[in-house]
Structure 1
Amino acid sequence: MSDTDSTTIDAPDHRSPGARPVLSVVGTGYLGATHAAAMAELGFTVIGVDVDAAKIAALQNGKVPFFEPGLPELLSTHVESGRLRFTDDFAEAIGAADVHFLCVGTPQRRGSNAADMTYVDAALDAIARNLTKDAIVVGKSTVPVGTARRLQERLAVTADPAFQVELLWNPEFLREGRAVQDTLRPDRVVIGGASPAADAVMRQVYGTPVAEGAQYITCDLPTAELVKTSANAFLATKISFINAVSELCDAAGADVKRLADAIGVDARIGRGFLNAGLGFGGGCLPKDIRALMHRSTELGADSIVRLLHDVDEINMLQRQRVIDLAVSACDGSVLGRRIAVLGAAFKPDTDDVRDSPALNVAAALHLRGAQVQVFDPEAMDAARHYFPALHYVSSTTEAVENADVVLVLTEWPEFRDADPVALGELVAHRRLVDGRNCLSDPAAWRAVGWTITGLGLGRPAGDLLTVSGGSPR
């Protein structure tokens, strides 16, 4: 660690060589619960701690309060084995552990693009107040650059000076729907600001993933803080780029899917995140790029601010483009029309509806007077919480019954691979807006009388619905 990264607390002489550290995970939401269960799977004794007693009780009973494939099984296995436990007693959790992972949320601050650091500060203070021995504090939350340095200073003031405590940063790269595998088998482990002693401990913590091929990357604190937000900003830029190109494809009569296939062959570009459609949402990408814009403005880095402003704006405009396609499918007005919305989560394999483009489109059509019927395989309860005014149904077939137009807005397999013949018998008109350009076989749908429209599929917007969609049922 360089002189500019030294803390005001001496680096600790942690545990004896070869001894496995006990881990605490502070914050047991999506990140914390996943990290705790995965660390137990890797052989560590783990204690999850949170102020939410109801959440702790559910986790201690092996119940995950959100949908994430593979996590309930992992959680139950290690709670039953005794390797993993959860508590709301910070003194118990912090006192028993040697390494403390800080995994609380950093939501967008109300009325601002800035990240809210309230939970991070409170968690750090709780760790500091309850220390009973030397320790390492490992930040995993996604924070604005400069936060770790500020937290080091806060820790130096708050922690008992009798203990040697070091703070470093270890950003997470979880993908919702794949979070368990991303934790157990990451492609990289980034450690920022660690002394040699702390680095040795972190190499022990992540020894199995590194032995299996994960790159272990050490850097300074600001770099570690910027890795996650920069990665998300780049992915968001790829998505908005191909969505901007999709508008050009519609105007020029080109096919954005084939175009993406062609340019994605180039190893410098890659095919991932080049799928034109409704755009990104969820609890990470929108929040993170806006927080990065805010912090970059504070630091006077104007170029990234201008770029990300355009990325965010293009992404939001995709929602309006899908709304316009739905209106066009209903001959210019959705007032009184029945619209089936297939999908509420922002992506498949999750029940996360935060900043969901699908729900945003559904709500906008509802406000225009449409009779919107929403179905999602996993996100119904979360959707009802955020948008209680919408009408929710229990299946795909119930959603499409007597529909004037069907909107596919989340790429769940049951929507991608739906039977066009069976659904065609249920709808009032065989009209479908593929908001994700995800149907497995659009030709099969068209062959039985469906009119399929999407974004960037080579037909100018004014010509999208020139073919009859079938007679009313």
Structure 2
Amino acid sequence: MKISVIGCGYLGAVHAAAMAELGHEVVGIDVDERKIEALAAGRAPFFEPGLPEILTSAGASGRLSFSTDMADVKGATVHFIAVGTPQKAGSYSADLTYVDAAVDSLIPHLKSGDLVVGKSTVPVGTAARLADKVTSAVPGANLAWNPEFLREGFAVEDTISPDRLVYGVSPVAEVAEVSTNILNSVYAKALAEETPLVVTDYATAELVKVSANAFLATKISFINAIAEIAEVTGGNVTELADAIGFDARIGRRFLNAGIGFGGGCLPKDIRAFGARAEELGRGESLAFLKEVDSINLRRRQHVVDLVVDLLGGQAFNKRVAVLGLAFKPDSDDIRDSPALDIAVQLNGLGAIVTATDPEAIANASAKHPQLHFVPSVAEAVEQAEVVLLLTEWKEYRALLPADIEAGVGSKRIIDGRNVLDSATWRAAGWEYRAMGRP
């Protein structure tokens, strides 16, 4: 099939390359000329494992191209909308400026029989509104909503072999059938591999994505709230999570206490979901998400307070090493990163913060040039009076006391992700602190 992808940020670039890798002819459209130039040259504008390889292979095949000209969607019959929906300034609501602009720019190039497919995370009600706009402007063109469930660090795998597919389609049965058949052709490989498929209405498809994120955020904040109780009672939240995780109704995944969640999805999506509930007159239904958000943000302050405590009550002019800046490993994404936020807060208290990360230094330094960034762990910990492990990159998880103790000023470490063996570090003479563990 010939496909267009409107918006070539994180979601769009991965989707375009993956669709071409699956054999479709794809054109990616974006207004950012530098981004388009990089993608056309086979260079990923952000770090995502596996993306450079499929950009190269799909580009070499001739099936993948990129452009800044919307007219280049000509000939495509399926048009994916993959632009961002950031949080509005001064509000928790989602900003739909880019979604509306993408659809408005696309409409003059649509023809009867085309299918516009939304992938962006939007407030419930958006798809129905856009469907009316598309069908009114171009009779015979239709709209479906196909939410994404990508995990940063695994986005290529999640696009090519998703764990489920969701189609939100028109309430008109004949239109719904046509849209479903088109999407089945797009995702033929995944469906042949028996990927679960849910075909539903627009509202449900929109709610699936934000509900999934709200549930995951709630689960993370739940275990972090329990960690707060464990810390004042001497309990071990990791062993507690193991115990309750054996219950099939609960499960062990996303029950890892730490410094909280971040990134470009969970924080903004739960806030936008709550804001939409308020608009619908059902704010009380999602009022708990405010506490989920509050618990999450509180974890960052907890680490800052713990550092100050370890440093004798004040951080001014004390050397602090920060290992990790991205909001999660296998990513260079620093959006709402707890690790970077903690580093910035400590810098604001007068600490001499030296930070490192395998992939996120460029992004972090562009946003917070006041911090000192170095390329290696050895340089970061030089004369540090406390070491913070804040992003659980594989190389940080594998650290042993002998790897860094020759360079540090004091043997103090805060394991913000509960990934180190506490007995090993304490046996080597380190003052070891973790999240919700004695």
What is the match of residue 9 of structure 2? Answer: 29
What is the match of residue 154 of structure 2? Answer: 178
Structure 1 residues 86-125: aligned runs within 5 Å: 86-93=66-73, 95-125=74-104
Q: For residues 53 and 133 of structure 1, what CA distance do their matches in structure 2 show?
A: 30
Q: For residues 340 and 56 of structure 1, what CA distance do their matches in structure 2 show?
A: 37
Q: CA deviation at 1:173?
A: 0.2
Structure 1 residues 26-65: aligned runs within 5 Å: 26-65=6-45
Please tell me whether Structure 1 or Structure 2 has the larger radius of gyration of its CA atoms: 1
- Superposed CA deviations along residues 133-184 of structure 1, whole A, max 9, x for unmatched, are 4300000000000001111222234x344xx100010000000000000011
What is the match of residue 396 of structure 1? Answer: 377
**1:69 pairs with 36, 49, 55, which one?**
49
- Superposed CA deviations along residues 439-473 of structure 1, whole A, max 9, x for unmatched, are 1x222211111111011103xxxxxxxxxxxxxxx
Q: For residues 115 and 240 of structure 2, what CA distance do their matches in structure 1 show?
A: 49
- Superposed CA deviations along residues 201-231 of structure 1, whole A, max 9, x for unmatched, are 1111111112213101011100000101000
Question: RMSD between aligned alpha carbons?
Answer: 1.0
Tell whether 2:323 aligns with 1:346.
no
Q: For residues 126 and 236 of structure 1, what CA distance do their matches in structure 2 show?
A: 34
How many residue pairs match? The answer is: 433
The amino acid of 1:264's aligned partner reads G
- Superposed CA deviations along residues 252-271 of structure 1, whole A, max 9, x for unmatched, are 11100000011011111011
Q: For residues 37 and 304 of structure 1, what CA distance do their matches in structure 2 show?
A: 39
Asked if 2 retains the 8 angstrom alpha-carbon contact of 1:187 and 1:213, the reply is: no
Structure 1 residues 428-467: aligned runs within 5 Å: 428-439=409-420, 441-458=421-438
Q: In structure 1, the residue corresponding to 2:124 is in which secondary structure?
A: coil
What is the match of residue 16 of structure 1? Answer: none
What is the match of residue 281 of structure 1? Answer: 262
Q: In structure 2, the residue corresponding to 1:96 is in which secondary structure?
A: coil
Asked if 1 retains the 8 angstrom alpha-carbon contact of 2:27 and 2:72, the reply is: no
- Superposed CA deviations along residues 227-286 of structure 1, whole A, max 9, x for unmatched, are 010000000000000000001111111100000011011111011100001000000000
- Superposed CA deviations along residues 297-332 of structure 1, whole A, max 9, x for unmatched, are 111223333110010000000001111111111011
Q: In structure 2, the residue corresponding to 1:46 is in which secondary structure?
A: strand
Q: For residues 98 and 218 of structure 1, what CA distance do their matches in structure 2 show?
A: 20
Q: CA deviation at 1:132?
A: 4.1
Taking only the aligned residue pairs, the percentage that are identical comes to: 55
Q: In structure 1, the residue corresponding to 2:287 is in which secondary structure?
A: helix
Q: Report the TM-score, using the length of structure 2 for normalisation.
A: 0.97
Q: For residues 213 and 419 of structure 1, what CA distance do their matches in structure 2 show?
A: 43
What is the match of residue 126 of structure 1? Answer: 105
Q: CA deviation at 1:92?
A: 1.7
The amino acid of 1:251's aligned partner reads V
Q: In structure 2, the residue corresponding to 1:258 is in which secondary structure?
A: helix
Q: CA deviation at 1:388?
A: 1.3
Q: For residues 59 and 422 of structure 1, what CA distance do their matches in structure 2 show?
A: 38
Q: For residues 331 and 8 of structure 2, what CA distance do their matches in structure 1 show?
A: 17
Q: For residues 166 and 51 of structure 2, what CA distance do their matches in structure 1 show?
A: 23
Asked if 2 retains the 8 angstrom alpha-carbon contact of 1:336 and 1:371, the reply is: yes
Asked if 1 retains the 8 angstrom alpha-carbon contact of 2:112 and 2:138, the reply is: no
Q: For residues 192 and 259 of structure 2, what CA distance do their matches in structure 1 show?
A: 39
What is the match of residue 189 of structure 1? Answer: 165
Where do 5+ consecutive residues of structure 2 fail to align?
171-175
Where do 5+ consecutive residues of structure 1 fail to align?
1-20, 459-473
Structure 1 runs (4+) deviating above 4 angstroms are none
The amino acid of 2:25's aligned partner reads T
Q: CA deviation at 1:350?
A: 0.2
Q: For residues 138 and 164 of structure 2, what CA distance do their matches in structure 1 show?
A: 34
The amino acid of 1:36's aligned partner reads A
Asked if 1 retains the 8 angstrom alpha-carbon contact of 2:327 and 2:336, the reply is: yes
